[in-house]
Amino acid sequence: MKKQLIVTAAAFALGLTGCLMSTPSASAKTTYLPSYIRHHTFYRLTDGSQGGYHDKTTFKGNHMSLHSSALGHYTWRLSGLKKHSSKVYYGRIHYSKKSSAPIKIKIFNKKHFDFIPKHIGQLKGNYTGDESFGATIFKR
C-alpha cells in the first residue's frame, strides 16, 4: 500500500512537471507580406464598379502610407496576417484606431495584388469579390 502511494505520487509529480516544463507549440512570429510588396510603391486602383482612384501607396512592413491628391495623406496597417498559400494571405486591415475589417490578400505577381474584403454588399459568401466588383487593386 505504501509503495503504491509512493509510485502514484511520483507519477503525478512527473506528469505535473512535464506539463509545466513543456514549451508552447504556437509561434509568436509576425507574418509579413513578401518583400517584393512591402518594400515598394504601388498605385491603388478600384474595381470596375467604382470611380477611379490613383493613390500612390508605399508599403513598409505591415504599414501602408497612401498619398491622394484629393484626400491627402493617411496610413493603414495590417495585423494578424496568416499565410494560406504562396499567393493568398488573410488578415485585418486597420483604417484608423476604431475602424478595421477582415481582408483577403490575393497576389497575382510581383507587380499586381488585390485586397478583398470579407463582406461585400450584393454578394453572397465570404471573400467573394474580384477585380470586376469589390476588390481594391494595387499595381506597380
| Domain spans of the chain, in order of start | 35-139
| Per-residue pLDDT reduced to its tens digit, 55-65 | 889 999 899 99
The pTM (predicted TM-score) of the whole model is 0.73
| Per-residue pLDDT reduced to its tens digit, 11-53 | 555 555 554 454 554 455 678 899 999 889 998 887 656 666 7
Q: Is 42:140 a contact under the CB 8 Å cutoff?
A: yes
Specify the length of the chain in residues.
140
CATH class of 35-139: mainly beta
